[in-house]
Amino acid sequence: MSAMLTVEKMVKVYTAHGSRVRAVDGVSFEVEAGTTFGLVGESGSGKSTVARCALRLVEPTSGESRIDGQALGPLRGRALRALRARTGMVFQNPVAALNPRLTIEQSIAEPLRTHTELRGQALAQRTRELLDEVGLAGAHAERLPHQLSGGQCQRVGIARALATRPKLLVLDEPTSALDVSVQAQVLNLLQELRREHSLSYLLISHDLDVVRYMSDTAGVMRNGVLVEVGPASDVLVNPTHEYTQRLLAAMPETPGAVPLHELRPDSTVPSENRILS
Ligand X SMILES: Nc1ncnc2c1ncn2[C@@H]1O[C@H](COP(=O)(O)OP(=O)(O)O)[C@@H](O)[C@H]1O
The dihedral through the CA atoms of 105, 157, 133, 136 has a sign that is negative
Which listed option, ligand X, Mg ion, none, makes contact with residue 45 (CB within 5 to 8 Å by class)? ligand X
Spatial neighbors of 234 by CB under 8 A, at least 6 apart, are none
Question: Closer CB to ligand X, residue 1 or residue 16?
Answer: 16
Question: Closer CB to Mg ion, residue 48 or residue 215?
Answer: 48
CB of 270 to ligand X, least distance (A): 29
CB of 23 to ligand X, least distance (A): 3
Can you tell me the distance from the alpha carbon of 227 to that of 246, in angstroms, rounded to the nearest whole number? Answer: 13
Which listed option, Mg ion, ligand X, none, makes contact with residue 41 (CB within 5 to 8 Å by class)? ligand X
User: End-to-end CA distance of the chain, in Å?
Assistant: 38
CB of 250 to ligand X, least distance (A): 16
Candidates 1-9, 14-22, 162-170, 253-261; binding stretch for ligand X (CB under 6 A): 14-22
Tell me if 92 contacts ligand X by CB under 6 A. Answer: no
What is the binding site for Mg ion (CB under 5 A)?
A: 48
* Binding-site string for ligand X from residue 17 to residue 36, where x marks contact by CB under 6 A and - marks none: ----x-x-------------
Can you tell me the distance from the alpha carbon of 208 to that of 197, in angstroms, rounded to the nearest whole number? Answer: 25
Tell me if 45 contacts ligand X by CB under 6 A. Answer: yes
C-alpha 129: how far from its chain's center?
Answer: 21
Site for ligand X (CB under 6 A): which residue of 1, 16, 249, 250? 16
CB of 23 to Mg ion, least distance (A): 10
Tell me if 87 contacts ligand X by CB under 6 A. Answer: no
Tell me if 205 contacts ligand X by CB under 6 A. Answer: no
CB of 42 to ligand X, least distance (A): 7
Can you tell me the distance from the alpha carbon of 23 to that of 241, in angstroms, rounded to the nearest whole number? Answer: 21
Residue 134 neighbours by CB distance under 10 Å: 24
Site for ligand X (CB under 6 A): which residue of 34, 44, 230, 265? 44
Can you tell me the distance from the alpha carbon of 144 to that of 113, in angstroms, rounded to the nearest whole number? Answer: 19
Question: What are the beta bridge partners of residue 19?
Answer: 16
Question: Closer CB to Mg ion, residue 23 or residue 199?
Answer: 23
Residue type, 132: D
The dihedral through the CA atoms of 126, 127, 128, 132 has a sign that is positive
Dump the DSSP string for 176-240. Answer: TTS-HHHHHHHHHHHHHHHHHHT-EEEEEES-HHHHHHH-SEEEEEETTEEEEEEEHHHHTTS--
Residues near ligand X (CB under 6 A) = 14, 16, 21, 23, 41, 43-49
